[in-house]
Structure 1
Amino acid sequence: MFGTFGTPRPPSTPRRFGRTARLVVLAIAVATGGTAIAVNATPSSAAACNGYVGLTFDDGPTGSTSALLSVLRNNGVRATMFNVGQNVQNNRSAAQAQVSAGMWVANHSWNHSHMTSMSQSQMQSDLSQTSSAIQSATGSRPQLFRPPYGETNATLQSVASSLGMRQVTWDVDSQDWNGASVSQIVSNAGRLQAGQVILMHDGLQNTRDAIPQIMSNLTSRNLCPGMISSSTGRAVAPDGSTPPTGGTTTPPPSGGNCTATATTPNVWGDRYNTSVTVSGASNWSVVVAVTAPQRITTTWNGTASLDSSGTVLTMRSNGSGSTFGLTTMFNGNSSARAQIRSCTTG
């Protein structure tokens, strides 16, 4: 993400697989292009995932990419590599190795410039050149784009979309670019929740050393590394399916009998709408949360109560039916989406 590991813009703020017995490789299509690859899996991997997170590594490929891939393979991790086009052109074999290791490859600009200072035509040329270099090296054309430094605007998002890519930033910043220790990186990664994405970097020893502990902690919470959906920007299962839990649908709590399901029908450059449908009860209360610095600004079809941070909404039925909605401002975090915390009756 940070080509020279400079100070970024403030951030828009899995179940560990065994190292021993591995099954016969399973053919899984890479989401960024449909290329068939071989992936190792343990017998328990599929059943133990109650949610997925997106582990991402920026600024590759580097001279240390092979070392990073080795650590990821040894820990059963598939991750998304946001590659710099110039680096891909200069190290095609490393980009190919990423795909061969089961990673998803994405666009991180040509040379990590401040893209919001570019004209629309310059943005178009930069991202197109990068995607072409990645496709030439790997056979897969990127479906995801991460803006350098997390700096973006409506024009850049529109250009990325015109090239068939969804912009993805991050929910959690590991701070590895900022000299974070192994323990600090592990601690930061501990904030990951199902569906969320973490920012890390290729080429850093502390990051590689943190991966086994990150995976161990995720395993303890029944979270697994997944792919980032090009439709939602959220982490989903490696085959592209939505998480069994922790995703857009929250099952009723113990003793309850209502379920709330969230969808995102509208996304604009600065905000998005969430539609929530409740089933199983006519008198309900639903808690919805967004990821700071996002803020909920508007609600409809319910009695709303918003906390002081503007990120946690409690919506109660008011006779307007079983579907309510809310508008959330991105405020620099365009990848996160509203998550349902609970649905209770009465």
Structure 2
Amino acid sequence: MQAQPDSVSERARPAPRTLVGESWDVGHECGTSSVETGQEPVRGYVALTFDDGPTPETLPSLLDALVTAGARATFFNRGDAAEAHPDLVRAQRDAGMWIGSHTMTHPHLRETGEREAFEEMNRAQQALQRITGEWPPLFRPPFGETDERVGVLAARLGVLEVLWTVDSRDWAGATEDEIVAAARTLRPGGIFLMHDWARASVDALPRIIGELRERGLHPGRIDVSPCPVPFGDTPFHATAVAP
């Protein structure tokens, strides 16, 4: 399939990572946010996301944990890993998970030429479409590294660029307890970054989901946010909504 036309309007593009514990309230309408009253937190949705897969050593137990909890998550798959393990991508789909792309080989997109960056993104999209039968609607740049050029390429491909509001730091060796603690800072509309190869995140998942539900929050899907979501010095435009 050829790249789709410019069907997504250009959005502001994030640059640096967020820090653990940083989170923002996100509403469906600009200017609306949740408020902690000290009693019952406002009910809402958050997005649990997993990058870099599919990983054969951990994905089956990760999917089991999600299905057992009755929860859904978004998987940002690498194209090369998807081609190596198409059965695992189909397992994600069949379990009711949402699937996005994470480039073909996980490069630093800001350091690549425009043609190479586009091919990295487009090849991953095409690989996942061949496996699932659907054009992935979501894209996450590796390392959270993006700029205006990457944003324009995402728009050309007709995909929503998705960053995060809270970083689990599982990629930096965060423990299960630290990952659960980071998830406690999620607010309605928030997006939680994890990786499907990180055993600590897999092990933390039942506690994360349980604690979220105790706060009136539930795993949801990712959609366009009409208002900007802070990410370092620049915003992005994605939020968690009802499944």
Structure 1 runs (4+) greater than 6 angstroms displaced: none
CA RMSD between the two structures: 1.9
Aligned equivalents of 1:117, 1:178: Cα separation in 2: 22
The answer to whether the Cα contact below 8 Å between 1:112 and 1:148 also exists between their aligned partners in 2 is: yes
Write out aligned runs for 1:204-215 (5 A).
204-215=198-209
How big is the shift at 1:50?
2.2
Aligned equivalents of 2:115, 2:207: Cα separation in 1: 43
The answer to whether the Cα contact below 8 Å between 1:54 and 1:80 also exists between their aligned partners in 2 is: yes
How big is the shift at 1:120?
1.7
Aligned equivalents of 2:55, 2:132: Cα separation in 1: 16
How big is the shift at 1:123?
1.6
Write out aligned runs for 1:52-67 (5 A).
52-63=45-56, 64-67=58-61
Match of 2:84 in 1: 90
Is 2:10 the partner of 1:10? no
| Structure 2 SS opposite 1:169 | coil
Deviations 1:98-124 (A, max 9, x none): 000000000101111101112221121
Percent sequence identity over aligned pairs: 38
Structure with the largest fraction of strand: 1
Structure 1 or 2, whichever has the larger Rg, is 1
| Structure 2 SS opposite 1:60 | coil
Aligned equivalents of 2:149, 2:89: Cα separation in 1: 28
The answer to whether the Cα contact below 8 Å between 2:18 and 2:231 also exists between their aligned partners in 1 is: no
Task: Say if 1:103 and 1:336 are closer, same or farther in 2 by CA, change over 3 A.
Answer: closer
| Structure 2 SS opposite 1:105 | strand
Aligned equivalents of 1:127, 1:175: Cα separation in 2: 24
Match of 1:334 in 2: 236
Aligned equivalents of 2:68, 2:198: Cα separation in 1: 17
Specify which of 160, 168, 184 is matched with residue 162 of structure 2. Answer: 168
Identify unmatched segments of 5+ residues in structure 1.
1-8, 14-48, 233-262, 265-271, 273-289, 294-330, 338-346
Write out aligned runs for 1:214-293 (5 A).
214-229=208-223, 231-232=224-225, 263-264=226-227, 291=230, 293=232
Match of 2:113 in 1: 119
Identify unmatched segments of 5+ residues in structure 2.
1-15, 23-41
Is 2:40 the partner of 1:138? no
Count of aligned positions: 203
Specify which of 44, 49, 55 is matched with residue 51 of structure 1. Answer: 44
Aligned equivalents of 2:103, 2:17: Cα separation in 1: 19
The answer to whether the Cα contact below 8 Å between 2:74 and 2:98 also exists between their aligned partners in 1 is: yes
Aligned equivalents of 1:84, 1:336: Cα separation in 2: 20
Q: TM-score, normalised by structure 1?
A: 0.56
Structure with the largest fraction of helix: 2
| Structure 1 SS opposite 2:52 | strand
Between 1 and 2, higher relative CO (CA 8 Å, sep ≥ 6) is seen in 2
Deviations 1:156-188 (A, max 9, x none): 011011101011110000111111111100000
Match of 1:154 in 2: 148
Task: Say if 1:115 and 1:292 are closer, same or farther in 2 by CA, change over 3 A.
Answer: closer
Aligned equivalents of 1:181, 1:333: Cα separation in 2: 29
Aligned equivalents of 2:100, 2:188: Cα separation in 1: 21
Aligned equivalents of 1:75, 1:207: Cα separation in 2: 15
Is 2:103 the partner of 1:109? yes
How big is the shift at 1:333?
4.4
* Structure 1 stretch displaced more, 120-129 or 98-107: 120-129
